[in-house]
Amino acid sequence: MPVEFRTGAWLRPLRGLAVVVSLLVSGVAIAESVPGPNAQSAMPAAEDAALEARVKAFAYNLRCLVCQNETIADSRAPLALDLREQVREQFAAGKSESEVRDFMVSRYGDFVLYSPPLKASTLVLWFGPALLLVAGGAWLAYRLRSRQREQAPQLSDEERERARALLKGSQPNSEESRT
């Protein structure tokens, strides 16, 4: 959950920058003369827009079971619509996110969660990247230390000759290939 702040007076030195950036992003932060709702205003598609936003954010982390691989928020499959409705009703009834999550998992299993719960079987999944990073770091440290100790590169005469031959050897062949 991002913490949102409004630019306050105590940030006066940053005001100039704020104006510039806000102009760039088309006036999100700076208050504007937004006309209030009137008779011509379109109705939000959902009766409770705030609830709808919560439902959407929540459904974004649920997987639609009938579709190949879509979130319940995006899918147009009938089951996804039903489940979105379930989420909406339960939120409206005051249920918490973890309660609704449990509701889904008890019916469809962990499969329905795009963010797998941390349990014995997912330890490797969640800690694998960190372990790999540590392993990679250790290998890197080992390589760097051994490299420092190594002698300056001394190509043997033979190797040097071979490299030269490899590059020079191309001439006659390339002549041939032109024909």
Looking only at residues 77 through 136 of this chain, which bind other proteins when binding is defined by CB under 8 A? 78-79, 82-83, 86, 105-116, 121-122, 124-126, 128-129, 132-133, 136
Dist CA 25 CA 111 (whole Å): 38
Q: Using the rule CB under 8 A, is 142 a contact of other proteins?
A: no
Dist CA 92 CA 50 (whole Å): 11
Alpha-carbon 52 to chain mean position: 22
What the block records as the tokens of 6 is: 């409004």
Angle between helices 49-59 and 78-92 (to 10 degrees): 130
Q: Which of 74, 92, 123, 142 binds other proteins (CB under 8 A)?
A: 74
What the block records as the tokens of 136 is: 């990679």
Q: At its nearest, how many Å lie between other proteins and the CB of residue 91?
A: 16
- Nearer Cβ to other proteins (93/144): 144
Alpha-carbon 173 to chain mean position: 51
Counted residue by residue, the chain has a size of: 179
Q: At its nearest, how many Å lie between other proteins and the CB of residue 48?
A: 12
Q: At its nearest, how many Å lie between other proteins and the CB of residue 92?
A: 16
> What torsion, rounded to 10 degrees, do the Cα atoms 27, 33, 35, 36 define?
100
- For residue 121, the tally of other CB atoms under 10 A from its CB is 10
Pattern 33-72, binding to other proteins, x per CB under 8 A?
-xx----xxxxxxx--x--x---x---xx-x-xxxxxxx-
- Nearer Cβ to other proteins (96/134): 134
Q: Which of 50, 93, 94, 168 binds other proteins (CB under 8 A)?
A: 168
Q: At its nearest, how many Å lie between other proteins and the CB of residue 93?
A: 14
How many positions of this chain bind other proteins (CB under 8 A)?
100
